[in-house]
Amino acid sequence: MNKKWILVIILGIVTMVLIIGGKKYMDKKSAEKEYQDGVELIQNYVTDYLVHNYEGIEKIEWQGVGIEWRNSKTKGPSLFGNYVNCDVRIFASKENYFTMRYSLHKGTDYDNDLKKYVLLDSMNPSNTDRAVNLGKENTADMLNEKDRQIFVKIKKSIKGSPNAKVIYNLDTYELKY
């Protein structure tokens, strides 16, 4: 009889641990899905804008959804939420590219009524143009004069880059510093 009670207690404890662990896992996956939905809005907006308004782009390659989980194992979720970003590489040639970074909290906002992310007014042509110029300048600063010239062909134009190869990526990864 004693062994039976011990077995029941152990099974009860194991069941509770599995339920709690499963709940935490499902909550994390739910948050990841919401982050992916928000980042997808950013990826679609930026890609569409670049393809229609910039010539000289050979490829647009998104680098996934980076998440800095700000949860404490002892105190639970952070009051400040998690940091979520996505990087995009804009290729002027096969090897030469510059990078732009977008963060979820600057480009979108979670609408509690709609239960989804919506684009903010900050996701506009003017700010996207600034991001392109800044990305080109930051990369060009690290190159010699000859290599800098490759980025001259990426410029604002009504021709756009209709033949640009686009690679979307919504895979999540943990940000490491």
Crossing angle for the helix pair 125-140 and 2-53, to the nearest 10 degrees = 90
Instruction: List per-residue pLDDT tens for the chain, 177 residues long.
Output: 688 899 989 999 999 999 998 888 888 888 888 889 989 999 999 999 999 999 999 999 999 999 887 765 655 555 456 788 999 999 999 989 999 999 888 888 888 888 888 888 888 899 999 999 999 999 988 888 888 888 889 999 999 999 999 999 999 988 877
Give the structural domain span for 145: 2-174
In this prediction, residue 170 carries a pLDDT of 94
Q: Report the C-alpha gap between 104 and 162 in whole angstroms.
A: 27
pTM comes to 0.81
Domain total in the chain: 1
Sign of CA dihedral 36, 41, 46, 48: positive
Residue 79: per-residue pLDDT = 44
49-79 burial, b for 16+ CB within 10 Å, e for fewer? bbbebbebbbbbbbbbbbbeeeeeeeeeeee
